[in-house]
Chain A
Amino acid sequence: DTGVSQDPRHKITKRGQNVTFRCDPISEHNRLYWYRQTLGQGPEFLTYFQNEAQLEKSRLLSDRFSAERPKGSFSTLEIQRTEQGDSAMYLCASVRGLAGAGNNEQFFGPGTRLTVL
């Protein structure tokens, strides 16, 4: 399978715990996006990497959230001190193409569903 993969697919945690999600993009894709999708809503942008550089962060990304993309390959999204409001589907997407080409198709992974009890 050469698509975008995410791990784990499901995560149940207790409030206050830390969680980390991983995204493996398609290998030649240099751009990577994280989105969050809550029930009944469309995905909302969280952050964007071009290679290893994190170029943009949404205001949704509070200081409890941190994302990395070491060496411009896989990416991790960590949530510290989880709250019930963090329960959502976290989606990762990757894109091949030059920065400045907004029409490039984003390929989405299956998502990680987080439930905070």
Chain B
Amino acid sequence: AQSVTQLGSHVSVSEGALVLLRCNYSSSVPPYLFWYVQYPNQGLQLLLKYTSAATLVKGINGFEAEFKKSETSFHLTKPSAHMSDAAEYFCAVSDTGRGSTLGRLYFGRGTQLTVWP
């Protein structure tokens, strides 16, 4: 089974500072990787996804993530944090290959991002 580890359940940054949220996955083959954001009392919104094309993936709201196979990592970054970025962020991995289990997502425990003015 796939698994995802998000290092740091809480990250705090000042407005304008770099945001770095860490995600490592375990998989015997490169999986499909996703970052989702969740605002309070809402569902999950996709920020970006890696699907074995470019290793540097750009998403919405200025976020990007780099797939590093050698490190089994898919860290999320944003050069300059904004107050509106405060939310919970989830890294997720999906199966590759064919089969009825295909497409289910395995999520990390999430990282709560706080942005200070």
Contacts and interface: CB of A to CB of B under 8 A. Distances in A.
Interface of A: 4, 31, 33, 35, 40-45, 48, 50, 55-56, 91, 93, 95, 99-111, 113
A109 B45 CA distance: 9
A91 B44 contact: yes
20 contacts: A31-B103, A40-B109, A40-B110, A42-B107, A44-B107, A45-B105, A55-B100, A56-B104, A102-B32, A102-B94, A102-B97, A103-B49, A105-B49, A106-B105, A107-B46, A108-B36, A108-B43, A110-B43, A111-B41, A113-B41
A111 B39 CA distance: 12
Nearest to B99: A100
Nearest to B98: A100
> Which of A56, A103, A109 has the most C-beta atoms of chain B within 10 angstroms of its own C-beta?
A103
A101 B49 contact: no
B109 A42 contact: yes
The number of chain B residues touching the other chain, given as a range, is: 20 to 34
A101 B109 contact: no
B111 to A, nearest CB: 10
B25 to A, nearest CB: 13
B95 interface: yes
A111 B43 contact: yes
A48 B107 contact: no
Given A42-B92, A111-B43, A101 B103 contact: yes
Contacts of A101: 102-103
Given A102-B94, A103-B32, A91 B43 contact: yes
Contact of B51 (A31, A93, A103, A110): A103
